[in-house]
Structure 1
Amino acid sequence: MRVNYDEYLVDDNLYINWYPGHMKKTKELVRDNLKLVDVVVELLDARIPFSSKNPDIDKLAGNKPRVVILNKSDLADRAKLDRWIKYYKDRGIKAIPLDTMKGTGLNKVVDECRNAVKDKMDALVEKGRKERPIRIMIVGVPNVGKSSIINKLTGRKSTVTGDRPGVTKGKQWVRLKGNLELLDTPGILWPKFEDQEVALNLAFSRAIKDEILDVETLALRLIGKLMVIEPEKLKTRYKLDALGERDIDTMDLIGQKRGFIIGNRELDYTRIATTVLNEFREGKIGKITLEVPEDIKK
């Protein structure tokens, strides 16, 4: 037998809205230090390029040269990733896919930062000014991989990293090779998620802490999304002959297949939920991108 979670999980009211005090402080830190920076490096999650883009950054950065990085590209669907690269190219922005685990794309990031301010630096030299380091600010939502990128660029463990939002604390200037200086900031979210699809995508990728969410309902939403966009990968990962008619039915099938049973032969929904969420985040379900440029609401 199983507990009837249908009403609890399907007719839920999962509304995500998170803006702790340190987010406000981070926004102020970014705004106050922009005058010291030559280039703004905007770091996005390649699996959710639109959802992980903070709309506040456009206002804060203004006319500063911008470099876009699509991090965790190793976890993204390559065909969909190419569509995002083209999307940015069509808007005059070079988006660089990056895999921090292997370091793939790091040299392109450095080169693009140099290209973005080449005219400015050449003009300073022509005026007789001593060449100074190019100053970079790296910004992005929590858990998008900023600290890992900095550690790769410096070749040493210069900042604290972890798979938890908000690990980076305060402002840090980091000296990079090649006469570059980088200002790292904590991840910054925005006060209100007008689009709950965006909020869900951020929660799926753990930009929002699991501790403040209903992980069982969150995993159910993820299963429902994967049933639509990646049904074969979902079936393959959990060895399912077919998916259920509803997301809760598929969740049950996953639990039964994995043997996640407790008590009087009841399904352990918490274990099912944490397994599905973790395996998506680790790329074990497959290389998955949750959104494409066509999904952006006009």
Structure 2
Amino acid sequence: MSIHWYPGHMHKAQKEIRELLPQVDLLIEVLDARIPYSSENPAIAAIRGEKPCIKVLSKSDLADPEVTAIWQAHLEQERGVKTFTTTTEQPQKMKQIIDLCRKMLPEKEASIKTINTMICGIPNVGKSTLINILAERIVAKTGNEPAVTKAQQRINLGSGIILFDTPGILWPKVENPQSSYRLATTGAIKDTAMEYDDVGFFAADYLIKAYPELLKERFKLEYIPDTEIEFLEMAAAQRGALRAGGRVNLHKICEVLVNEFRSGKLGRISLETPEMVLKEEAEMAAAELKKAEEKAQRKERFKTGSLTRDKKAQKEHRIERVQRRSKEKQASKK
């Protein structure tokens, strides 16, 4: 699945981030704890350089706690990176981020200089909620949908810390196809930019393999089938998501599944692990290498003229095949 959603304000925001970065001492990147890899904007990683970064794993109360701990250990292997888990139910814990900013920049603390921080993240990861808690006032608009913040703003958090807020930004092309589905499943893109059926099938396929017991309990099923279509049919029967004649309303049951995942009604679930994404990255690299090799071979064959000869031979073969079939037809009529 490809995401066809890259509003103009996101392009502008990415440009503003690049221009502002030289003034910034530390980045605060808000990630969705359920998809730390897929919710990490590669553009931010590319322009951050050596600047210290706090990766805030938001919505951690919705994620699998064991998987979140694995992600924290994995992310902190990178130099200058610290992780911090938060939920909207822990406002006092969120305020500890200010202390962590100072600990990561001890030279600023010693000289009593202002610390300029910049908060960034993809849409709908809870960035605005975090800002309002840190500022102890409503300075950022919140909403249960992506792309609410559309303009950059400068916020004085007190205690010598300035926070630059930036709109949530996606990127024009999500390289990993699995990440596209994960972003859609968590609600990082608007529902109008995706097909519920596609996302529901992806979610069902993953969940029956990774969290079968949670599905069994939530949908009151005696067992979990092996395929996503069988599960969706059984779940639809349980929830009454049926059309006239008892046919399954796939759109409706997929919508139910995705919304119950997002709200946490299915339980604490993570959609990816470091092991999974490392394997996916290796597969993508291998596919790109194969594509590059095939392109180089075509180029070489074109230079030597063998590509033209191959095409001519293929054309002659097709003509011969058509002629042979024509003769066979005529013979059968006789």
What's the TM-score once normalised by structure 2's chain length? 0.79
Q: Report whether the alignment pairs 1:190 with 2:190.
A: no
Contact 2:10 2:169 in 1 (8 A): yes
Greater relative contact order, per chain length (Cα 8 Å cut-off, separation 6+): 1
Query: 1:34 offset after TM fit, Å?
Result: 1.2
Superposed displacement of residue 36, structure 1: 2.4
Mapped to 1, the partners of 2:77 and 2:12 lie a distance apart of 34
Q: Which residue of 2 aligns with 1:119?
A: 107
Cα deviation for residue 24 of structure 1 reads 1.1
Name the residue aligned to 1:144: 125
- Give the drift of 1:43: 1.1
Aligned match of 2:308: none
User: Match for residue 273 of structure 1?
Assistant: 254
Instruction: Give 1:193's aligned amino acid.
Output: V
Number of paired residues?
A: 278
Residue among 136, 140, 147 paired with 1:155: 136
Match of 2:275 in 1: 294
Summarize deviations over 1:91-117 as a string: whole Å, max 9, x none: 342211111232263133111111122
Question: Which residue does 2:86 correspond to in 1?
Answer: 98
Whole-Å Cα distance in 1 between the matches of residues 150 and 269 of structure 2? 30
Q: Which amino acid aligns with 1:275?
A: V
Please state how far the C-alpha of 1:149 moved relative to its aligned partner: 0.3
- Secondary structure of 1:296's counterpart equals helix
CA drift at 1:76: 0.8
Answer yes or no: is the 8 Å Cα contact 1:47–1:73 preserved in 2.
Answer: yes
**Unmatched segments (≥5 aa) in structure 1:** 1-13, 126-130
In structure 1, the partner of 2:65 is 78
Cross-structure match for 1:3: none
Give the distance between the partners of 1:106 and 1:245, measured in 2 at CA.
41
Residue 38, structure 1, aligned to residue 17, structure 2 = no
Secondary structure of 2:95's partner? helix
> What fraction of aligned residue pairs are identical, expressed as a percent?
37
In structure 2, the partner of 1:27 is: 14
The structure having more radius of gyration, on CA atoms, is: 2
CA distance in 2, matches of 1:40, 1:290: 25
**Is this contact kept in 1: 2:95–2:133, CA < 8 A?**
no
* TM-score calculated relative to the size of structure 1: 0.88
Worse-superposed segment, 100-109 or 82-91: 100-109
Structure 1 equivalent of residue 291 of structure 2: none
Q: Secondary structure of the equivalent of 1:74?
A: coil
194-203 or 240-249, larger mean C-alpha shift: 240-249
Which structure: greater helix fraction? 2
Question: Cα RMSD between the aligned structures?
Answer: 1.6
What residue ranges of structure 2 are gaps of 5+ in the alignment?
283-334
Q: Is the 8 A contact 1:262 1:268 kept in 2?
A: yes
Task: Please state whether the residue corresponding to 1:70 is helix, strand or coil.
Answer: strand
Separation of aligned partners in 2, 1:104 and 1:295: 33
**What is the aligned partner in structure 2 of residue 4 from structure 1?**
none
2:245 is paired with a residue whose SS is coil
